[in-house]
Structure 1
Amino acid sequence: MAMAQDGLVLPRLTSFSTRSCPRGDEVDYWRQARREAYVAVRTDPVGSAFGGEIRLGQYADFRLSTKRARPEKVRRSASDIAQGREDEEYLYLLFQLSGNLLVEQAGRRTLATPGSLVIYDSALPFSLSAKEYYEQVVLELPADKAFSLAGMSRSDDLLARTFDCGGAMGAVAAFFVNLAQRQDGDRLGAHRLEPQATALGTSLIGLTAPGQCGMPESLRRAEALAYMRVHLADPDLDADGIAAGLHVSRRTLFRLFEGTGESAMGRLRSLRLERARVMLRTQPGKQVSTIALETGFSSSVQFYRAFRAVAGMTPGEYREAGITEGPAAPVIPGLET
């Protein structure tokens, strides 16, 4: 922690970047950086080159960081845990900003996708795998204290599950994303937000925890949306497949979307069209037919019809409009609907 002139204890900020180490030492440097910023893990690059950056803010009751890295595989085994020198056990809440990250823990595996939240625990073996460049905000909370403040018994029920950041959870996610991205430029402001950040971090545990007096329908719907996003490219994905993936009945799935203005399958189509919209504007070299397949439409004809019905123009016309009007406004993870 650092002291301001008026005696306030400001958050301590530390930066790690492989660009600051000798060429060829990037992986060893990154392992040490991860150990200092989080907990000891074994990491290996995927591909011929590796690079990463961590910007870490250390507060009295939590740590908050932005992390960017090229493809890597990360593992923390039981022996790593036994040999670790950490004073406490931590929960890591990952707010995914870009790229996908496969998280495996407690017998489950899930995909952290842009706009989602995934949690893992340093006290249990885990693995993280990214096949592409990714960026995320990481909130670290002392595990026992977080569960205690949330009024819950510690368990692994919420680990390695993907939560869609919508509703109340989206507001909390947006708070931490914005704080992490601005803390190094305004440490005094970050310090003044510290009490609220501690309370909001604890609230996230309660929002994501299944089985606490029954999971609210809003959270079940968030899980359904997250599942749709992960499997969005599958043209065969239907209500039966979504319900099976969530371990609920078709009727329960349909009920989750009652009163939202869209059916479950209507929401899936909207998610596909939204991803297609972003791809059309941000990947101008990609063929429209390829975008159709990558967003789960069974044919280009089906894609054209669905897109025109919603946008009032063809995908090609929408892309051309983007060239003259400028790119579409970026989606802020945690704030999209």
Structure 2
Amino acid sequence: MYTWSTEQVDPRDRFDYWREVRAKGLFGVTAELEPEQRRDFFGEFSLRKLGDAGLVELRASPYRVERRAADIADAQSDSLCIYQQLGGGGWFGGARLDEFAVRDGMFATSYSDLPYRTVPLHDDGFHLRIIKIPVAGIIPPGAELSELVPRPVPDQTALRTLLESCFRDLVEGSNAAAADAPPTVQALAYIALIQRGIMRPKSRLAQQALRTGHLSLARRLIRRHLSNATLSPRLIAGLLGISVRHLHILFEETEMSFSETVTVLRLAQSRRLLRETPGQTIAEVAFACGFESLATFYRLFNASESMTPGDYRARLA
């Protein structure tokens, strides 16, 4: 991962450096700020490769951003951009763009090489994540990239939850896992294109992306309900809005079934609690992880670790 901050630059030169080297050179945008505010400017970002795609997290003091025709000509990116707003919010506008604002947690999508303007809504400035995915090989034939002007992803929709889950998988992945990122990156891109009406939901690639998104979200829901001893395929399928059969088919395409996934996650959680909560009894750990009985916990833990939970904890002491 590459990281950079204006703390590495003399305060008198921070905004000028950010504008000319980072904003224009790296992001391909024009940055503007009143001269009297430049000395107090702060900006930082990180960049992590996800195969051919890239994940950027940016935090900066308030300033005005515009991607003009000249910027696009000088720094073409030819990418699908998926944004997540992390700070207080931002405003977007442009010549062909309906103005909109994004608040904390919201997502937006766009094609990189279209003009736009943006400013933060509040004094805390910018804080956002962007995944940029090269469009080569992912845009359906005949699709009009000019239609992909910046636009927010509506909240409370099924596609939004799938998009967010895949996005979080990539954000939470380690550098070591970057080699495994391309399938998730592709699924994220296709879900975004389905949401924008660029890709037909019934196409083969779209259906594959939706399966990836549902599987990602299913695993998140399992973790969320892990302490529930009544966690079942019916519960997770209901939360996903799919049939139990469909849920089992999703897991059949992976290395572990639904029940095996639940057991592996519960055992991982139990190991963490045994390490980090010495005040909890073995029984409290077992039930906190959703095991239906102490006997079941001992049997599965011993099969996994070749020792009892008590021996595991004692070994760490």
TM-score of the superposition, structure 1-length normalised? Answer: 0.51
How far has the Cα of 1:117 moved from its partner?
1.5
Matched position secondary structure for 2:85? strand
Q: Is the 8 A contact 1:72 1:131 kept in 2?
A: no
| 2:6 pairs with one of 4, 18, 36 | 18
How far has the Cα of 1:102 moved from its partner?
1.1
**1:162/1:21 CA distance change after superposition, 3 Å:** same
How far has the Cα of 1:58 moved from its partner?
2.0
**What residue is the counterpart of 1:142 in the other structure?**
134
Q: Is the 8 A contact 1:90 1:140 kept in 2?
A: yes
**What residue is the counterpart of 2:110 in the other structure?**
120
**What residue is the counterpart of 1:239 in the other structure?**
none
Matched position secondary structure for 1:68? strand
How far has the Cα of 1:124 moved from its partner?
2.0
| 1:94 pairs with one of 50, 62, 83 | 83
Q: Which structure is richer in relative contact order (CA contacts within 8 A, separation 6 or more)?
A: 1
- Partners of 1:193 and 1:77 lie apart in 2 by 31
1:72 aligns with 2:63: yes
Q: Is the 8 A contact 1:61 1:198 kept in 2?
A: no
Q: Is the 8 A contact 1:66 1:137 kept in 2?
A: yes
In the TM superposition, 1:166-315 aligns within 5 A as: 166=156, 167-177=158-168, 179-180=170-171, 182-183=172-173, 186-209=174-197
- Partners of 1:85 and 1:210 lie apart in 2 by 25
**1:98/1:85 CA distance change after superposition, 3 Å:** closer
Q: Is the 8 A contact 1:66 1:135 kept in 2?
A: yes
Q: Is the 8 A contact 2:143 2:198 kept in 1?
A: no
Q: Which runs of 4+ in 1 moved over 4 A?
A: 210-213
Matched position secondary structure for 1:102? strand
1:39-59 CA-to-partner distances (Å, cap 9, x unmatched) read x21102367232111111123
* Structure 1 unaligned spans of 5+: 1-12, 214-337
**1:177/1:165 CA distance change after superposition, 3 Å:** farther
Q: Is the 8 A contact 2:50 2:181 kept in 1?
A: no
* Structure 2 unaligned spans of 5+: 202-317
Matched position secondary structure for 2:52? coil
| 1:45 pairs with one of 33, 42, 59 | 33
Which amino acid in 1 is paired with 2:83?
A: L
Q: Is the 8 A contact 1:110 1:160 kept in 2?
A: no
**1:211/1:203 CA distance change after superposition, 3 Å:** closer
How far has the Cα of 1:71 moved from its partner?
0.9
- Partners of 1:178 and 1:34 lie apart in 2 by 27
Aligned residues: 195
Matched position secondary structure for 1:147? coil
Q: Decide which structure has greater helix share.
A: 2
**What residue is the counterpart of 2:93 in the other structure?**
104
The percentage of aligned residue pairs carrying the same residue is 21
- Two-structure CA RMSD over aligned residues (Å): 2.9
Q: Which has the larger radius of gyration?
A: 2
- Partners of 1:37 and 1:165 lie apart in 2 by 30
